[in-house]
């Protein structure tokens, strides 16, 4: 009689994943997913948007050579909106442009698409093939009538028509149509983001100069910069490469970058201090936040941990609140950076008044 097959020992996968995850990954993570688990349709749309972005990157920089229909629309409408809303901030202008574009009819959008096609033809670039195909431009697959089981299958066509049961539910949208819709939506949202970044890079830095660097978009190479005398929502955008190149400039050279070299050094030094404090507070893959020294960058992290205890505001979700998944250490680092910067600015203004 052969021996019974050998069974593999049970393994606690959650514990292995928790011990294998490095702490520095949470510090540098920048992805934030809202709402919890995504639905199947959202997963399909998300993967389609990623594939559309990779395809655009592999086929060349067509959007850099020729402006898109949305950008042509914004160029034409922006002067009118600025004249009608002289006190509107850049986020408000971006929202007005986006809402106006969504309210534009299909015929008017086709006119801007035709203008873009003429510009592409005038450019004479063989790498530019044309406007990306939308869901309306694709040939829809033929609808297949599916037979239903039970008594419905035994009925004749006349009986089904007389009973009013010949109508069958529409088949679910195919994956091709979902991918086309996701690509079109990602294309439009990408254009709105690029236009908003352009507006924020062209803001008036002389009236409201840079105060401090809030965060860095490594993928785009941008610094998100707070401006003096304005709320954090009216931030500006600065090319991080231009700001860092000030290290190579000669001393005393006046550069056109609104962010000073000292701001860049303060931002990078804070990131190093935070990583060192996290490393020093680690104890068996946990953070020991008791008796923090004065000036520790883990102050906000300890406060948020305290507020998660039963009875405090962060212990549970309220009725009108929602869950939001965020990287913990990266969130604490960002909040601590803004808190320290605001403290420095408040101290300077107080010394000036004295």
Tens digit of each residue's pLDDT (9 = 90 or more) over 4-35: 565 555 544 444 444 444 444 444 444 444 44
Which whole number is the average pLDDT over 157-170? 49
Contact 70, 188 (CB under 8 A): yes
Confidence of residue 259 (pLDDT cuts 50, 70, 90): very high
Confidence of residue 86 (pLDDT cuts 50, 70, 90): confident
Closest CA to 236 of 245, 228, 248: 228
Q: Residue 174: is its pLDDT beyond 80? A: no
pLDDT tens, residue by residue, 288-338: 888 888 889 999 999 999 999 999 999 998 888 998 889 999 999 999 999
Nearest-angstrom CA–CA distance, 194 and 201: 11
Largest distance between two CA atoms of the chain: 95
Q: What is the structure's pLDDT at 192? A: 64
Confidence of residue 98 (pLDDT cuts 50, 70, 90): confident
Q: Residue 252: is its pLDDT beyond 70? A: no
pLDDT tens, residue by residue, 334-349: 999 999 999 988 887 7
Closest CA to 55 of 187, 181, 198, 175: 187
| Domain ranges (residues) in the chain | 45-125+174-202, 203-259, 260-354
Q: What is the structure's pLDDT at 92? A: 83
Q: What is the structure's pLDDT at 87? A: 82
Any idea which architecture 45-125+174-202 has in CATH?
Orthogonal Bundle (1.10)
- Which residue is associated with the tokens 């037979």? 147
Task: Round the CA-based radius of gyration of the chain to a whole number and report it.
Answer: 28
Strands of 236-239's sheet in order across: 210-217, 222-227, 236-239
H-only helix segments in the chain:
13-20, 23-28, 40-58, 62-65, 69-84, 90-103, 106-123, 151-154, 157-163, 175-201, 240-244, 261-281, 299-307, 328-353
Distances (CA, A) of 49 to 39, 44, 74, 75, 142: 15, 9, 23, 26, 25
């Amino acid at each position: 009689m052969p021996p019974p097959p050998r069974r593999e020992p049970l393994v606690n996968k959650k514990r292995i994943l928790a011990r294998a995850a490095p702490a520095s990954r949470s510090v540098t993570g920048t992805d934030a997913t809202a709402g919890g688990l995504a639905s199947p349709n959202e997963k399909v749309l998300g993967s389609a948007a990623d594939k559309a972005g990779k395809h655009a990157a592999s086929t060349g920089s067509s959007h850099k050579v020729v402006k898109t229909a949305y950008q042509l629309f914004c160029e034409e409408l922006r002067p009118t909106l600025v004249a009608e809303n002289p006190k509107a901030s850049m986020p408000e202008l971006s929202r007005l442009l986006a809402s106006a574009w969504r309210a534009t009819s299909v015929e008017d959008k086709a006119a801007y698409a035709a203008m873009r096609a003429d510009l592409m033809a005038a450019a004479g670039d063989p790498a530019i093939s044309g406007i990306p195909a939308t869901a309306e431009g694709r040939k829809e697959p033929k609808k297949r009538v599916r037979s239903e089981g039970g008594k419905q299958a035994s009925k004749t066509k006349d009986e089904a028509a007389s009973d009013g049961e010949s109508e069958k539910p529409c088949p679910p949208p195919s994956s091709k149509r979902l991918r086309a819709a996701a690509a079109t939506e990602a294309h439009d949202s990408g254009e709105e983001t690029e236009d908003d970044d352009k507006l924020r890079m062209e803001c008036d830095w002389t009236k409201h100069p840079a105060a401090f660097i809030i965060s860095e978009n490594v993928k785009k190479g941008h610094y998100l910069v707070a401006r003096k005398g304005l709320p954090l929502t009216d931030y500006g955008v600065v090319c991080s490469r231009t700001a860092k190149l000030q290290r190579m400039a000669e001393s005393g050279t006046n550069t056109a970058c609104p962010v000073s070299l000292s701001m860049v050094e303060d931002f990078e030094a804070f990131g190093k201090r935070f990583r060192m404090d996290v490393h020093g507070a680690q104890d068996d893959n946990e953070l020991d936040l008791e008796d923090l020294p004065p000036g520790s960058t883990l102050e906000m992290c300890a406060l948020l941990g305290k507020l998660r205890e039963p009875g405090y505001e962060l212990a549970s979700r309220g009725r009108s609140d929602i869950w939001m998944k965020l990287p913990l250490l990266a969130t604490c680092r960002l909040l601590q950076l803004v808190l320290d910067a605001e403290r420095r600015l408040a101290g300077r203004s107080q010394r000036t008044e004295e």
